[in-house]
């Protein structure tokens, strides 16, 4: 017996707004790797850079025009942080589905406005919290869920870089959405919310430690309190020539430690196609210590950022939930905002209360 073949669904037409480091390195190749998504337009002021990457793409210098074009289904916003809200708002009002690179927006109020608008219009809105699909994070989550660490009472999550001299770029100049907390903070905040949910207390510090930093933060440390018996420390810096462990988890039955950032960003920078042999595979093991202190190696699961955009495709086709629902992204913004207020006021705040 033969069955008729299933008709192919029309491709979801995608406009990528912004073709800087994030748009070019992450979003463009990941979108292209997903069957059912068709990148048809890039909004950029540098057409040559886009066409050097792919010469058949339409290039639109007007970002707002690209974000509201009638033949586009999905708008992906990878522009400077302070433009996220106006571009996303315009795209939602034009009836588009919207993906925004982290951070969601530069203020909690802007994020809430977009969530309210998307819910009112029944539109898909999502934030690219890709670090949920890091191999090291997947390994940590498996270790916690597997119970071999017992009750995890302490977690240290570091996201460190080494760039001792400030660069002349918007991320490192004074202005809305600048600074390292806006750059790397969303990664570590989203991951801890995925593991443990919202904390009870937030105690934060931030600083500009490099010469010529113009007061823009390049270091931050945030301690989250979960009742009397759990503490989580989030740490980001641009002055780490030696990389401390990415994660340290300490529980009532043992500890788990993993060093080195997930390799997918480096693979993308090197031009590897997402899904190519070896994609996301990292041979560096994590270490686990039992109650006696004996160490054993634990393999890292393969990371795969493609899961995010495959989830966006399936959500738009009604086959799966949004991989990063807007209310989860709003929770990230709320915790980031609370940490910034804690640092500015020099005191511990009760999350969701103060």
Residue 214 shares a structural domain with residue 258: yes
Q: What is the DSSP letter of 66?
A: H
**What pairs with residue 41 in β-bridges?**
15, 58
What residues contact 228, with CB distance under 8 A and at least 6 apart? none
Check: CB of residue 263 under 8 Å from CB of residue 282: yes
Residue 136 shares a structural domain with residue 282: yes
Q: What is the DSSP letter of 71?
A: T
Residue 146 shares a structural domain with residue 191: yes
Asked if residue 328 belongs to a domain, the reply is no
Residue 39 shares a structural domain with residue 159: no
Single out the residue in 73, 97, 128 at which a domain terminates. Answer: 128
What is this structure's pTM?
0.95
**pLDDT tens track for 171-208:** 889 999 999 999 999 999 999 999 999 999 999 999 99
Single out the residue in 73, 104, 128 at which a domain terminates. Answer: 128
14-18, 169-173, 193-197, 300-304: least confident range: 169-173
Domain count, the chain: 2
Q: Flag whether pLDDT at 3 surpasses 50.
A: no
Single out the residue in 87, 111, 128 at which a domain terminates. Answer: 128
The single residue listed with the structure tokens 């495709």 is: 313
CA-to-CA separations, 157 to 79, 89, 201, 216, 275, in angstroms, rounded: 27, 33, 17, 22, 27
Check: CB of residue 262 under 8 Å from CB of residue 243: no
Rounded CA separation 19/22 (Å)? 7
Q: Which domain holds residue 235?
A: 131-303+335-350
Q: What is the DSSP letter of 239?
A: B
Residue 46 shares a structural domain with residue 168: no
């Amino acid at each position: 017996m033969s069955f008729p073949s299933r008709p192919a669904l029309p491709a979801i037409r995608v406009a990528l707004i912004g073709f800087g480091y994030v748009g070019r390195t992450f979003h463009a190749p990941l979108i292209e790797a997903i069957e059912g998504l068709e990148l048809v337009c890039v909004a950029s002021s540098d057409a040559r850079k886009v066409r050097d990457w792919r010469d058949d793409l339409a290039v639109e210098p007007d970002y707002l025009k690209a974000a509201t074009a009638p033949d586009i289904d999905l708008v992906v916003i990878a522009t400077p942080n302070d433009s996220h809200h106006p571009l996303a708002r315009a795209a939602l009002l034009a009836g588009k589905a919207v993906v925004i690179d982290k951070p969601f927006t530069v203020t909690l109020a802007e994020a809430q406005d977009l969530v309210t608008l998307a819910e009112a219009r029944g539109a898909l809105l999502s934030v690219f919290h890709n670090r949920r699909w890091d191999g090291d994070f997947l390994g940590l989550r498996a270790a916690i869920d597997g119970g071999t660490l017992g009750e995890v009472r302490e977690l240290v999550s570091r996201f460190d870089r080494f760039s001792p001299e400030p660069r002349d770029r918007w991320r490192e100049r004074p202005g809305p959405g600048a600074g390292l907390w806006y750059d790397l903070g969303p990664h570590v905040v989203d991951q801890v919310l995925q593991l443990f949910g919202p904390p009870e207390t937030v105690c934060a510090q931030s600083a500009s430690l490099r010469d010529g930093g113009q007061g823009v933060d390049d270091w931050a440390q945030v301690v989250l309190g979960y009742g009397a018996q759990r503490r989580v420390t989030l740490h980001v810096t641009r002055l780490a020539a030696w990389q401390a462990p990415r994660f340290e988890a300490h529980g009532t039955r043992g500890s788990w430690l993993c060093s080195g950032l997930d390799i997918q960003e480096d693979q993308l920078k090197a031009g590897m196609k997402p899904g190519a042999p070896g994609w996301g595979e990292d041979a560096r093991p994590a270490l686990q210590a039992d109650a006696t202190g004996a160490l054993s190696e634990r393999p890292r699961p393969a990371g795969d950022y493609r899961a995010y955009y495959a989830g966006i495709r399936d959500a738009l086709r009604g086959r799966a939930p949004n991989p990063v629902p807007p209310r989860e992204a709003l929770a990230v913004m709320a915790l980031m905002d609370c940490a910034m207020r804690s640092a500015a006021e020099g005191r511990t705040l009760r999350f969701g209360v103060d």
